[in-house]
Structure 1
Amino acid sequence: MTELRELIPGVLAALVHRGADFATAEDAVQEALIRAVEAWPAEPPADPKGWLITTAWRCFLDLARSDAARRNREVRVFDEPERGPAVSTDETLRLYFLCAHPRLTPASAVALTLRAVGGLTTGQIARAYLVPEATMAQRISRAKRMVSGVRLDSPGDLGTVLRVLYLVFNEGYSGDVDLAAEAIRLARQLAAAGDDPEADGLLALFLLHHARRPARTGPDGRLVPLAEQDRTRWRRDLIAEGVEILQAALARDALGEFQAQAAIAALHADAQTAAETDWVQIVEWYDELLRFTDSPVVRLNRAVAVGAADGPRAGLAAIAELDPGLPRYTASAAYLHEQAGELEQAVRLYVEAAGTAQIVAERDHLTRRAAELRQRLA
């Protein structure tokens, strides 16, 4: 059976193309998906996408007529989609631009896209933003209402689309929904369709990070830190492609935040061993990155890089200037204290970090690290 998640964008786009307002169309698609889950195991359709479009359109008409009855007004009734195989053209990227419409704030655009196109649940998006689920539900609902009635070919904001893809990739790479491959596919489309070095930089970043994925976990599912990964398992084909794309983007002399991030990833990928990593140059690239985004998370990552380049004391001095409430702050501080030989402090911080970790593999890794240091102390 075709993965339902892969069909959502095309089905939603088909309804919007036919004149359905975005908010009602999204509700209709969700209802069609529920019916698919119920019906397909017993009788899988020959054309899953066509089945979903037809079913979703009927759901939309039901919703529209119900709304008309409640409001005591006449509603235009659209023709049912023609029968036959669904058009195979990929509307996903155009749908991303709709969700990145200028009417929306970047945060709302990202949340709407992750929900409507990426297929993430409201709870998953809320965790990504560190806000209550009810708050995120309200944000998504408002965003859906704002883009209702907007044509699918209306212009969106490229910067917002890039940020959307970046968050989708991160959710797929480290979260509980595997969307990394989808983000790479869409980034390829975006880079090929336009002429923007930042789109190329984003694609290069995805490829370089994805290349390390086979080594991120051990056979037992345990998280393997970058310094301990078996680099022979890294996909050199993706690294070579990512570096080539990045070099072409940098040559255009229009540096942006995604190109800077990709340059950092390329330096990690270039090192044959962890000891050969050029941390001095990585710190320099973090300084470039901070010119574009004064992100506390970037400053935290830079502090760890400073610790590797100039010694753990320098790293601890840099991290002391940051908010202890940052995600992974405590784990980073634990690592730097460990490198400085302050094992008791490191144990305490690893335990504290494990208690707040959102990802099970990360929590288990931090717990094991604390136990290993306790053994050394004993």
Structure 2
Amino acid sequence: MKQIDRSFMRFIFLSVLILSVSLFSFSTNYSAKFTYSTDFSQQQPNTSLSTEFYINGSSFGSNYDLSFALTGTSLNSSKLSFKFDPFALVVYKNQIYGTSGDQIILYRISDGQNGVSIHYAPFNVYMFNSLDLMYAQYNLNNGNILVGKRGSNFDGAIDLSNTFGNFRLVTEFVWQNVNKFDFSDTVYLVILSDVNSNWGVRYVLAPSTTKYLAFSPQTLGNNSIINAWYKIPGKVNLNSYVNTKFNFDNVEDNLYDNTEVGVDLNYSDVYLSLKKTGLSDVTGVMPDEWGKFSIGTSYSFTILGLNGKFAYSFGKPAHNTIATLGEVFYVELGKSFGNTSIFGKYQKIIGYYEERDALYGEIKLAGFNNGQVTLSLGNTDFYNFNTFKPIFNIEFSLWW
């Protein structure tokens, strides 16, 4: 697929911008962010200063909509919409477009892209200049029909949803690389549930164990993927589930190795979760003989004007960053004093061979007409980083 000509995209944007200023009501607002950071993790502290400046403009007419943002003097993102019911044309830069809307989700665009979309209800076409991808979608009353082009390959999908009394049945057929006429590039999906999804079974069938869907979040790698759940809503919310996957030539071993069973329970401010992954790795009664498992609980509370949360988990792996058996303690506290708010959190991981501590704190001062100051210490991403990062930040945010 030839990419959409960038000079043409630039011409459209500038033309509509000029027209909007001339013919329609045009408004702008500005924002800026200055961040001063000092990293004390090295023997010699490192300092840095980053600046971001945005101009957000918008213009509206009866059949026209423009929005854009500048970072410094560079165009950060923009979206131009022409609407003449039932027709619409959208030209966009650095916009997140979400998913294709079918049950398997054949295409998911989760980062900013450039392109054009055309809408003529119930028909939609999406063309991505920054990806070698375009697809057309026809919305049915009870589903979707998709035809896509990735490079030199073509994809197709159809999904349908129907209700029968209190039951809901969903089916989807996907054929990737249709032009290669390879049956192993097909994927089938069936979902049977009640209309409120309080219980259900989701089954994905894939003839190939090595193929994958290029732009889809649906993981493959096995002939059969099954997800079953049962929920009991109410004052005490209970959710139980079983997830498994297997190949036709090794069903029994795959079920023992890949089956995941779990229970989640919510009662007021208390949460409890139990999960076991795989059944073949249980060799005894002691926790280090249970294989992969997780036991977790959390409690949200308010005390002395402080809003807080305490959480504890025990299992293998102990944490996203620790593969051994262990436990994780987590606590967070926050409080607001008028225009000032404070927040802090602490995490301790006790693994089989190691211990890790992470700490983060911040103070926000919002008592300004058009600004906010944030002082922070540490790294806030406890999921991917398990140690304290001695980084001090001062962030000034302004808007007008």
Higher Cα radius of gyration: 2
Higher helix share: 1
Q: Normalising by the residue count of structure 2, what TM-score does the alignment of the two structures yield?
A: 0.28
Q: Which has the higher relative contact order, 1 or 2, with Cα contacts under 8 A spaced 6 or more apart?
A: 1
TM-score (norm 1): 0.29
